Structure 1
Amino acid sequence: MEKLIQFFFPARCSFCGRVGVDPCNECRKFIKFIQGKTCEKCGVPVGDFILNLCPSCQRENFSFEKVFPVFYYDGVVRRGIHLFKYRGFCQNAITFSNLMVDKVKSGNIKFDIVIPVPISYERYLKRGYNHSYLLAKNISKILKIPLLDALKRTYFTEPFYNLSRQERKREIKDKIVVKNGYEKYIKEKTILLVDDIFTTGATANECSKVLLKSGASRVYVSVLAITKPSGRLK
């Protein structure tokens, strides 16, 4: 897959789309990795905060173990994700997934399976690909663990960007299931769930609940970017 992408697409910056090195020198100035002491649940920096959970995660009861975000979802990172997700820049999956693997490795966790967050059939037809699947496929290849496209959305969901936290929860509730016959591959496995962005955690949490209900041992989440706590929807 990687060789095909490199053959058909010229080298471009994954964050702005310019032909040339990846990332380009201009975007490199604005790329800031999430580092330091982080929330033990969502992975955002907590600095000298006395608790190990950020205020946002203190209000939630997430089913997954921990999120591994590489960046905050803003600036050049936001632009790069939009190119990847809505403009057909599939080659971005290579750069992004490599960055995600580096972050995941810092957790020193042994994963059994990589599973992408599903998109609806309608959205797949419109885009022609599932961006999370492309990320998960390369992550699986790098980590040398199986990729399992085990989840599906049973109903079309409206875009989430204008929805509040509670509205997102209601919109996604009971709309993700494990595909028939896949439960046996999930049972007692530690799973790495892959998506591009973590906003409120509604989708990641719903996927995790479904996987755990089907017998998974634990679920961790790998994302390229997470929204800043101040920008989380109430």
Structure 2
Amino acid sequence: MIRFFGRDVIGDHRTNLLKSYLNAIFYPEHRCLLCEKPIQSHSHDVLQKMLHLPHLCMTCKNELEVIPLNHCYQCHKPIDPQIPVDKEEPLPIQEGTLLCHDCIDANHALSFNRSAVLYNDFMKENIALYKYRGKESLSQIFSYLLKIAYDYYYKDVDIDFITFVPLHSSRLKERGFNQAEQLASQLSFFTGKPVYSLLQRIKETEKQSKHGKRERLKQIEGAFIMEPLVEVNLQDKNVLLIDDIYTTGATLEECAQTLKGAGVNQVYSLTLTRAV
């Protein structure tokens, strides 16, 4: 097992991530990062180790559902172009892209959202283990899924830096960590883009999963302000906003409005999962 000597820095997720990947490279026996079952190593795994790919068993890999090619350009919701949405056909906005019914007439502070995988029962269970039962090791594979999505969707987008959806102080105290901050920090490790804490949550809200879109919009209004000690120049910058789940987009939209009010040019979002 690889160890780093010297003073440990509590909460340094990048160091922990590096330790995990170095151990995966030099020690062939490993377990699936999701289900923890042993994975048999083969000689052809060398390339995988060199690329720092987190290890998953085939069972878990098959549970991951990527967003289909036919999706809403704005919110990344899957769309079947042959099926009307609420009796209205999705609106083509340019060749090869569509808008879902929710996004046709809406005004968006977000330029667009992209998500790594669908929020199916498998991801719901694993995100719950990560957020509520202290299984922070799952952030290794979650952040790598974000990296794959970033490379695919944002490779040609000019991103200046990364930020994340903050937790209210009471919820942060209860949980012990902010999953969005942890994922953003690890995505920064992969991409080389700096990550900054730009937002502060001043309004404690009920869990958004308990409410529909209209209630979410009302509840989240005014929930965020800019961090008062931010020393980074935001004028005309393009920011990537990170969160774990996109449901209605209400939280991300409110964050984007706050950022744009502070001078940010474009706000994009990248989430681990997309609920449908």
TM-score (norm 1): 0.88
2:242 counterpart SS class: strand
- 2:112: which partner in 1? 66
Report the equivalent of 1:18: 36
Match of 1:28 among 61, 71, 74: 61
- For 1:169 and 1:135, the matched residues in 2 are separated by 25
Instruction: For structure 2, list consecutive stretches of 5 or more residues without a partner in the other structure.
Output: 1-12, 25-29, 40-54, 82-89, 93-97
Cα distance between partner residues in 2 of 1:3 and 1:181: 26
Whose RCO is larger (CA < 8 A, sep 6+)? 1
Aligned 8 A contact 2:109 2:253 in 1: yes
Does residue 136 in structure 1 map to residue 184 in structure 2? yes
Q: Map 1:200-215 to 2 at 5 A.
A: 200-215=248-263
Deviation at residue 128 of structure 1 after TM alignment: 0.5
Give the deviation of 1:19 after TM superposition. Answer: 4.2
**Deviation (angstroms), 1:198:** 0.4
Q: 1:13 to 1:170 in 2, by over 3 A?
A: farther
Conservation of the 8 A alpha-carbon contact between 1:36 and 1:47: no
Name 2:264's counterpart in structure 1: 216
Partner of 1:83: 129
Cα pair distance change 1:180/1:57, threshold 3 Å: same
The one-letter code sitting in structure 2 at the alignment partner of 1:61 is: N
Q: Secondary structure at the match of 1:106?
A: helix
Residues 12 and 186 of structure 1: is their aligned pair in 2 closer, same or farther, counting only changes over 3 Å? farther
Is residue 41 of structure 1 aligned with residue 53 of structure 2?
Answer: no
Q: Does the 8 Å CA contact 2:76/2:114 hold for their aligned counterparts?
A: yes
In structure 2, C-alpha distance between the alignment counterparts of 1:12 and 1:147, rounded to whole Å: 30
Q: What amino acid is the match of 2:121?
A: G
Residue 200 of structure 2: aligned partner: 152
Give the secondary structure class of the aligned counterpart of 1:110: coil
Aligned length: 226
Give the RMSD, CA atoms, in angstroms.
2.2
Moved more, 87-96 or 45-54: 45-54
Distance 1:116 1:12, change over 3 A: farther
Q: Give the AA of the match of 1:118.
A: P
Q: d(CA) in 1 for partners of 2:222 and 2:38? A: 44
Distance in 1 between residues matched to 2:123 and 2:105, nearest whole Å = 27
8 Å CA contact retained: 2:64, 2:118: no
Distance 1:131-1:111 versus aligned 2 partners, 3 A rule: same
Distance between the aligned counterparts of 2:204 and 2:245, measured in 1?
19
1:103 pairs, out of 122, 130, 149, with 149
- Distance of aligned partners of 1:58 and 1:20 in 2 relative to their CA distance in 1, 3 Å threshold: farther
TM-score (norm 2): 0.75
Kindly state the Cα deviation for residue 216 of structure 1 after the two structures are TM-superposed. Answer: 0.3
Pick one of 99, 103, 120 that aligns with 2:168. Answer: 120
Counterpart Cα distance in 2 of 1:63 and 1:50? 19
CA distance in structure 1 between the aligned counterparts of 2:241 and 2:200, rounded to whole angstroms: 13
